[in-house]
Amino acid sequence: MKRRFLTLHVNAAITISRIASWWVRKLGMGDGAALPGRILLWLRPGAITELSRGLPAVLISGTNAKTTTTALAREALAGSFQVISNDTGANMESGLAYALTRCGGVCSGKALGIFEVDEAYLPLIGRQLETKIVALLNLSRDQLDRVSETRLTSAKWRAYFQANKDVKVVANCDDPLVVYAANGASNILWISAGINFFQDARSCPECGGEIHFTTSDWRCICGFERPLPDIEVFENEVEADGRRIKVDLALPGRCNVSNAAVALGICQVLGVDLASAVRRMSYVSEVAGRYRRLSVDGRTVRMLLSKNPAGWLEVLDIVRDDRSVVVAINAQVADGRDPSWLWDVPFEFLQGKEVVASGERAFDLSVRLHYAGVEHSVIKDPIDAVKSCVSSELSFVGNYTSFQELRKRIDSSQNPRLARLHRLGDRISL
Could you list the residues that contact another protein (CB under 8 A)?
Answer: 141, 144-145, 149-152, 199-200, 202-203, 205, 208-210, 337-338, 340-344, 363-364, 366-368, 370-371, 378
CB of 64 to another protein, least distance (A): 17
Q: Are strands 393-398 and 324-328 parallel, antiparallel or unpaired?
A: parallel
3-state secondary structure of 302: strand
CB of 425 to another protein, least distance (A): 24
Count of CB atoms situated within 10 Å of the CB of 56:
17
Nearer of residues 145 and 297 to another protein, judged by Cβ: 145
Nearer of residues 70 and 308 to another protein, judged by Cβ: 308
CB of 340 to another protein, least distance (A): 3
Distance (Å, whole) CA 190 – CA 230: 5
CB of 363 to another protein, least distance (A): 4
CB of 320 to another protein, least distance (A): 23
Distance (Å, whole) CA 43 – CA 51: 14
Distance (Å, whole) CA 418 – CA 415: 5
CB of 364 to another protein, least distance (A): 6
CB of 227 to another protein, least distance (A): 22
Kind and range of the H or E run holding 428: helix 416-429
The amino acid at 136: L
Nearer of residues 87 and 335 to another protein, judged by Cβ: 335
Nearer of residues 93 and 364 to another protein, judged by Cβ: 364
Q: Angle CA(224)–CA(225)–CA(230) in degrees, nearest 5?
A: 135
CB of 387 to another protein, least distance (A): 22
| Close Cβ partners of 313 (under 8 Å, ≥ 6 residues apart) | 196, 197, 345, 346
In Å, the largest CA–CA distance within the chain is 64
CB of 318 to another protein, least distance (A): 23
CB of 217 to another protein, least distance (A): 17
Q: Angle CA(380)–CA(382)–CA(385) in degrees, nearest 5?
A: 80
Count of CB atoms situated within 10 Å of the CB of 400:
18
Answer left, alpha or beta for residue 28, where phi above 0 means left and psi between -120 and 50 means alpha: left
Nearer of residues 42 and 213 to another protein, judged by Cβ: 213
Distance (Å, whole) CA 230 – CA 185: 16
- The one-character DSSP state at 335 is G
How many helices and strands in the chain, by DSSP H and E?
Answer: 15, 17
Nearer of residues 7 and 203 to another protein, judged by Cβ: 203
CB of 335 to another protein, least distance (A): 13
Nearer of residues 250 and 367 to another protein, judged by Cβ: 367
